Amino acid sequence: MVKVLIVDDSAFMRNALASMITADPEIQVIGMARDGIEAVEKVSQLKPDIVTMDVEMPRMNGLEALRQIMANNPVPVLMVSSLTTDDAKTTLEALDIGAVDFIPKNLSDLSINIVKIKEILIEKIKNIGKKGLPLFKRISRPKQLKMPTTTDYTAHRKINVVTIGSSTGGPRALQNIICNLPKDFPVPILIAQHMPPSFTKPFAERLNQLSAIEVKEAENGESVRKGVVYIAPGKGHMSILRKKITETTISITENKGEYIYKPSVDVLMLSAVENFSGHVLGVILTGLGNDGLKGMKEIKNSGGRTIAESEKTCVIFGMPKVVVEAGVADKVVPIDEIAGEIINSV
């Protein structure tokens, strides 16, 4: 049984969340709190497996409550955020402090239906609550890289593009990787992180501030440049098109019927294989579901290279697990070693 503490100043939101998640018999709401002060007290008293934490509350807001909880009684925390640019920046700060992921407050506004939202919320709470806090450290600044001692991949062709896919827990994992890459990285990096549209630009801007390498939200029609990290915008799917040997451009498409999650990891990786067959590095990070499995298979089958994050550092070992079980991961390594693997692969 996963024990949940719900923290929100809105009685409606507390009850809405409780109603959604207790539909699953393996989840129990053991308490509710109306502000950060109550949250800190109840985490200490009730010892929940996971906390849902509102961002804006009276007396003590979600960020301050999160700081105190992580300092004194560390527990997985899901931030509950409005889908605004300002709240996106606050939520990204919360992830840096120690929150494992976030859920949208205005649930009905998402592009996927409410039944799917409920399923995802329940799965996040169950997976994260059962596992507890993943084994990673705060990574707001670059640190000494753990460089791999071997570079044995099944494929030895030159890598021309790096593609990375992630979902739940991905923002922290991506920060760990991107902050450790050099400014003169020799190829472009394209990332599909499942994220609402209002979050991807602040996320890219935050990574750009923290990193030596340039990071930006990708734009439709722009040329792909080496040494730049492109974050797929949350409004649609990102793919690449190689117009000629010297020019590759980005395409952002809102409708890809079979792909539920935006932006889709599979759409990105499959387009990379189509244009750079045999010369793609695919990296799959923490996340729920199986987005990226098709893409990683094609990267592997075309002669490219593949890396999956290991279970011990994943917030949710879903997306990497299906890749590993399918036998298409060349390497399975913890998050602290992935930047080194990427550098050595190019």
Cα(69)–Cα(315) distance, rounded to whole angstroms? 18
Residues making up the chain, counted from first to last:
346
Cα(12)–Cα(77) distance, rounded to whole angstroms? 20
327 by Cβ neighbours in 10 Å (0-12 / 13-18 / 19+) ranks as: exposed
Among residues 194, 211, 310, 345, which one is catalytic?
Answer: 194
266 is catalytic: no
Among residues 291, 310, 330, 336, which one is catalytic?
Answer: 291
Residues β-bridged to residue 189: 162, 229
291 is catalytic: yes
Cα(42)–Cα(68) distance, rounded to whole angstroms? 12
3-state SS class at 162: strand
Question: Which of 209, 205, 214, 180 is CA-nearest to residue 342?
Answer: 180
CB atoms < 10 A from the CB of 255, how many?
Answer: 7
Radius of gyration of the chain (CA): 20
* Half-sphere exposure in the Cβ direction for 47 (13 Å, CA): 0
3-state SS class at 318: coil
Question: Which of 20, 6, 247 is CA-nearest to residue 122?
Answer: 20
Cα(178)–Cα(99) distance, rounded to whole angstroms? 19
Among residues 167, 239, 271, 310, which one is catalytic?
Answer: 167
Write out the catalytic residue numbers: 167, 194, 291
